Amino acid sequence: MFPTLRALFRLRRPRWDWVQVEVTTRCDAACVYCPRTACGGGWRDADMPMALFRRVLSACRGARRLHLQGWGEPLLHPRYPDMLAEAVAAGYVVGLTTNGVHLDADMAGVLVAAGVDMVALSLAGIGARNDAVRRGAPTARVLDALDALREAKARAGSLLPRVHLAYMLLRQDADGPEALPALLRGRGVETVVVSTLDHVSTPELADAAYAHADADELAALGRRLEMACTVAGAEGIRMVWRLPRPAHPSAHPSAHPSVHVATRPDGRHRHTVSPPDHSFTSDFSRRPDHPFTPGHEPPELWDVPGDMLHALAAREGDASCTENVGRAAVITVDGMVAPCVFAALPLCGGRPREGSRAVAAGRMLFGSVEDSPLAEVWRRPAYAAFRAAHARGMPPPPCEGCIKLRVH
């Protein structure tokens, strides 16, 4: 083999953009769109033991960033301040997302003193609209938390943590994005990340998602966001968002090219056509023994030489999934490794699906950091084949129908 090819296929220690660590699955809010709420009594509440967390810190060498939050409210973990301090001391850049309910002046001081890099707080509307869908996490409490962070940073003379707002834009939200700049003025928010509902866990939520919006509705929404972005920029707030590609009436909506309206630096629009998505069409929800389930050999790529398989799986620019499954991972509260948070749902399980089909049951896990470093789990054939399929733009059956494949 030529030297350049040998270099290409030589195994290297993986480098991840980030690893998301689920420190707890408990939460004292009841957001209507959260799968935890939909699962009701079937949800499994658990806290990650400190011994396992320390194993995670050791197992994730190669990752620069750790996001210490999963399907739960991280500030509920009784040892969370210790987790933050130990993760930062281990050399990681640490971030978290919180509903803000427990982010008072004392906790804000803890976050600043620990050297946390980024804190994101969540809203899904403003005022009564947010309070109706994020039950137990009212807008007023989020604003208080933002003020507590701003004041704690000022007392410490610190620029960290950077403060973000994660804004869930529901279809019924008539004017939320436009009102955000005024609401956040002077509260220290650097970035607003706007997302749309991509996990429709109950039929009642279908109308709240933009997953089935047509091109005209999405274009109008894009114009609204562009205007809100301009206003936010005048307040020193950066606003970013991703929208799903337009839904199509055919039985296979991803089989058609889609138009993406992007803004050029001069403020004009350019239109780019995305290629059709040739995803597999098998229904994983009816195939619990699918080869991508742990313990089975992956299809198609099982006989590819190991070095070549890992080189293919390591290709950058994974454009098929916004969860960055080619360069990131999720570690569950019990130490299992999943490609994304939707594949790591406790007990109820499943990933977001198109149409009215039920959410598929079961988790997609590739190993445990209790037994092996993340790098070793990452290189296992089933996981490597999963990433290789995404890198080729051919997402495997477990991901079929996931709305994340249509977000751009």
**Predicted pLDDT of residue 268:** 38
What's the CA gap between 97 and 163, in Å, rounded? 10
**Predicted pLDDT of residue 199:** 78
Backbone angles phi, psi at 159, to 5 degrees: -85, -10
Give me the sheet containing 328-331, strands edge to edge: 238-241, 191-196, 162-169, 118-123, 93-98, 65-67, 18-21, 328-331, 337-338
**Predicted pLDDT of residue 176:** 87
Per-residue pLDDT of the chain (408 residues), as tens digits, is: 444 444 444 445 568 999 999 999 999 999 999 988 888 777 889 999 999 999 999 999 999 999 999 999 999 999 999 999 999 999 999 999 999 999 999 999 999 999 999 999 999 999 999 999 999 999 999 999 999 999 999 999 999 999 999 999 999 887 889 999 999 999 999 999 999 988 777 777 888 888 888 999 999 999 999 999 999 999 999 999 988 888 654 333 333 333 333 333 334 333 332 333 322 223 333 333 344 444 444 444 444 455 554 555 555 444 568 888 989 999 999 999 999 998 888 655 444 444 444 444 457 899 999 999 999 999 998 898 888 888 877 787 778 777 788 776
Q: Which residues pair with 16 in a beta bridge?
A: 63
